[in-house]
């Protein structure tokens, strides 16, 4: 008799999905855009990517060694953070800046708050914003003044297409979609980022909910407040330019820093779209995706608290004065 | 229980040790955070703010301690504020007259010393209860402790954020300053890391003391049970 019943506590069915598999899939999905960035900007861009990944992994290893914790570098999350940070760097940045950014992202933003799953904002973006605040000049200098520049379709001003549009010029939509423009190493090609994003959606790593609602809200916001009237060409340029594609598919969907509840994810994506619109259209600089995402990350606990579903069979109490929502 | 010798309370040395190390206002009690975060963009600002606050703290401690039997208990807060505000005004006017550059650098944070919780806190916790001499040294100790905290924070931020110390270039010219450390977020990061290090040190110390005490107890226990067993035989 005793052999017939297996008694164990739930869960009884386990998926084969592990953290390292998820992280590996995201890294694979990022590779086309990253390799394109290297092809476009020359071998120095590859060095930047390698350095930021290596610095992120090494920082995680050293911190866990020093604090005698479990070594978690094999789950790939540190490598992913490093790769995302590297893809957010201008192609000719001084080599130690991405290293410093990676150390900051992993050490301060991730490990100080308890490691993977505990960070309150996206480490890669926090690292980028740290560098933006510290070295504003180097972080916004997208000039590629050597042979590699021949591949880049330049605008008259020599600025990024998004900055040129903000200044009143018309963007070249095809080059912005394909990615042969100025920008950070991994953000320029909307096409390759979309391919990576669709790969992640098909393999069910991410749901299309956050990226679509985010991009949709932003498009509507730009349509209303962009000052170009009903100009779909302008909207398409805004969507393909800057880091919004990379942010929408790879950073806003980060498991740790997005809301858990479905309703919450809609709220989160709408806030992201509005914030990006405000920063881009009313802000001082042409791009605001990274700030929009890390600010919205801070709202996530509030969003989750407000949208937590009632348990099965539980009737939610009508809100009384002063009740917690 | 603890092997460390305790200092006699309320002696000058004990008060100064208490203010600088044991109950350091910013690093242990975590009060006075507002000026700490705001003015520590450089070491010289830190020293200036620390010493200005110390002057006000010592003077207000003395006066409040002298008046402690006169001030009615229910009205002590307005009385303390009045005393502190007068000394802050005196200090502010003197700074404006004799150290105008420091006055410019600290700006709004000089009048804000009136509502600095360290000064209110010492008036409430110490000067209002104890005689003048310990209150005087309490002011010196707490003021020095505050200055120590400000200087540590100012030194780290100035070194990383500007590559200088007290205005002198101490890092090679090729060093590119990390501007964020001079800005507000840098203050929070540095403060958090400094406090974390100090807390860790204290926790390790306490753990060691607890382990030593436990060992001592076990030895006594072993000795007494051994005695009981041999007596039972």
* Cα nearest neighbour of A130 on chain B: B180
Whether A134 sits inside 8 A of B185 (CB atoms) is no
Q: Which residues on chain B are in Cβ contact (under 8 Å) with A133? A: 179-180, 183, 185
ipTM, interface predicted TM-score of the complex:
0.76
Confidence of residue B205 (pLDDT cuts 50, 70, 90): confident
Decide if B1 is inside a domain: no
**Closest Cα in chain A, distance from residue B158 (Å):** 14
Which chain B positions have a beta carbon within 8 Å of A100's beta carbon?
A: 178
- Distance in Å, alpha carbon of B208 to nearest chain A alpha carbon: 18
Helix residue ranges, H only, chain B: 12-17, 33-39, 43-66, 76-98, 100-106, 117-122, 132-162, 184-232
Tens of pLDDT, residue by residue over A10-42, are 777 877 788 888 999 999 999 999 999 998 888
**Domain residue spans of chain A:** 19-139+161-305
Inform me whether the C-beta atom of residue A130 falls under 8 Å from chain B C-beta atoms. yes
Query: How far apart are the CA of A1 and the nearest CA of chain B, in angstroms?
Result: 50
Residue B224 lies in a domain: yes
Cα A145 to Cα A91, A137, A182: the distances in Å are 10, 16, 11
DSSP string, A32-65: HHHHHHHHHH-HHHHHHHHHHHHHHHHHHHHHHH
Q: Do A135 and B179 touch (CB under 8 A)?
A: yes
B227 or A138: which leads in pLDDT: A138
Q: Which of B178, B183, B189 sits opposite A108 (nearest CB)?
A: B189
**Residue B174: inside a domain:** no
Size of interface A-B (CB pairs under 8 A): 17
Least Cα distance to A277 among A211, A221, A208 occurs for A221
Mutation choice for A interface testing from B179, B184, B195, B204 by most A CBs within 10 A? B179
Contact A133 B176 (CB under 8 A): no
Fold (topology level) of A19-139+161-305: Ammonium transporter fold (1.10.3430)
CA distance B155 to B149: 10
> In this structure, what token pair is assigned to residue A297?
């990350």
Contact B176 A130 (CB under 8 A): no
- The mean pLDDT value of chain B amounts to 87
Give A-chain residues touching B183 at CB under 8 angstroms.
133
Q: Give the pLDDT of residue B96.
A: 93
Give Cα A173 distance to the centre of its chain: 22
pLDDT of residue B218: 86
- A63 interfacial to chain B (CB closer than 8 Å): no
Judge whether B54 lies within some domain.
yes
Residue B17 lies in a domain: yes
Does B148 reside within a domain?
A: yes
Out of A290-299, B32-41, B218-227, the most confident range is: A290-299
Domain count along chain B: 1
> Nearest residue of B to residue A109 by CA position?
B189
pLDDT in tens, chain A (325 residues): 556 677 778 777 877 788 888 999 999 999 999 999 998 888 899 999 999 999 999 999 999 999 888 888 888 899 999 999 999 999 888 899 999 999 999 999 999 888 888 888 999 999 999 999 888 888 888 877 655 556 665 544 456 778 777 777 777 888 888 888 888 888 888 999 999 999 999 998 899 999 999 999 999 999 998 877 778 888 888 888 888 999 999 999 988 899 999 999 999 999 999 999 999 888 877 778 999 999 999 999 999 998 888 788 777 665 555 444 4
Asked if A135 and B189 come within 8 Å (Cβ–Cβ), the reply is no
Domain assignment of residue B142, yes or no: yes
Q: Inspect the interface and report whether the beta carbons of B183 and A133 lie closer than 8 Å.
A: yes
Considering the domain boundaries, does residue B207 fall inside one?
A: yes
For residue B159, give its domain range: 12-168+179-232
Burial A173-204 (b: 16+ CB within 10 A, else e): bebbbbbbbbbbbbbbbbbbbbebbebbbeee
| Residue B232 confidence (pLDDT) | 60
Mark yes or no for CB contact A135/B176 under 8 Å: yes
B56-89 pLDDT per residue, tens: 999 999 999 999 999 998 999 999 999 999 999 9
* Contact (CB<8Å) B176/A94: yes
């Amino acid at each position: 008799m005793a052999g017939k019943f297996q008694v164990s506590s739930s869960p009884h069915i386990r998926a084969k999905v592990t953290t390292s598999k998820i992280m590996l899939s995201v890294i694979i999905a990022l590779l086309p855009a990253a390799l394109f960035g290297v092809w476009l900007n020359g071998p120095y861009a590859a060095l930047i990517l390698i350095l930021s990944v290596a610095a992120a992994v090494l920082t995680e290893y050293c911190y866990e060694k020093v604090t005698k914790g479990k070594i978690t570098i094999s789950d790939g999350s540190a490598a992913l953070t490093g790769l995302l940070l590297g893809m957010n760097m201008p192609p000719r940045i001084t080599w130690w800046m991405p290293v410093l950014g990676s150390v900051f992202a992993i050490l301060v933003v991730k490990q100080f708050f308890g490691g993977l799953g505990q960070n309150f904002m996206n480490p890669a973006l926090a690292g980028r914003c740290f560098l933006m605040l510290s070295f504003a000049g180097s972080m916004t200098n997208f000039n590629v003044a050597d042979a590699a520049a021949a591949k880049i379709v330049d605008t008259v001003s020599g600025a990024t297409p998004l900055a040129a549009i903000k200044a009143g010029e018309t963007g070249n939509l095809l080059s912005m979609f394909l990615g042969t423009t100025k920008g950070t190493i991994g953000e320029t090609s909307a096409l390759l980022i979309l391919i990576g994003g669709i790969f992640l959606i098909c393999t069910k790593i991410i749901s299309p909910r956050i990226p679509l609602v985010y991009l949709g809200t932003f498009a509507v916001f730009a349509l209303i407040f962009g000052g170009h009237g009903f100009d779909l060409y302008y909207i398409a340029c805004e969507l393909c330019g800057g880091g919004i594609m990379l942010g929408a598919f790879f950073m806003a969907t980060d498991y740790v820093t997005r809301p858990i509840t479905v309703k919450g994810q809609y709220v989160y994506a709408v806030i992201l779209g509005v914030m990006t619109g405000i920063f881009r259209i009313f802000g001082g600089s042409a791009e605001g995706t990274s700030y929009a995402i890390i600010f919205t990350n801070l709202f996530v606990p509030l969003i989750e608290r407000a949208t937590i579903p009632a348990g099965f069979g539980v009737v939610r109490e009508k809100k009384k004065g002063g009740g917690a929502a | 229980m603890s092997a460390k010798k305790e200092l006699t309370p309320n002696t000058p040395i004990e008060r100064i040790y208490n203010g600088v190390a044991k109950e350091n206002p910013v690093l242990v009690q975590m009060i006075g955070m507002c000026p700490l975060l705001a003015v520590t963009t450089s070491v010289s600002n830190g020293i200036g703010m620390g010493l200005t606050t110390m002057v006000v703290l010592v003077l207000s401690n003395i006066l409040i301690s002298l008046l402690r039997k006169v001030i009615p208990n229910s009205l002590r807060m307005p009385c303390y504020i009045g005393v502190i505000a007068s000394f802050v005004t005196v200090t502010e006017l003197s700074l404006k007259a004799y150290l105008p550059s420091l006055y410019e650098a600290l700006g709004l944070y000089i009048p804000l010393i009136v509502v600095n919780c360290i000064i209110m806190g010492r008036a409430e916790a110490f000067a209002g209860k104890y005689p003048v001499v310990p209150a005087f040294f309490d002011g010196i100790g707490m003021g020095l402790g505050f200055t120590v905290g400000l200087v540590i924070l100012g030194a780290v931020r100035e070194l990383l954020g500007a590559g200088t110390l007290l205005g002198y270039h101490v890092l090679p010219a090729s060093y590119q300053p990390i501007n964020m450390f001079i800005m507000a977020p840098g203050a929070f990061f540095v403060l958090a890391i400094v406090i974390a290090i100090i807390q860790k040190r204290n926790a390790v110390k306490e753990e060691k003391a607890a382990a030593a005490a436990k060992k001592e107890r076990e030895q006594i226990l072993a000795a007494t049970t051994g005695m009981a067993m041999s007596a039972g035989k």
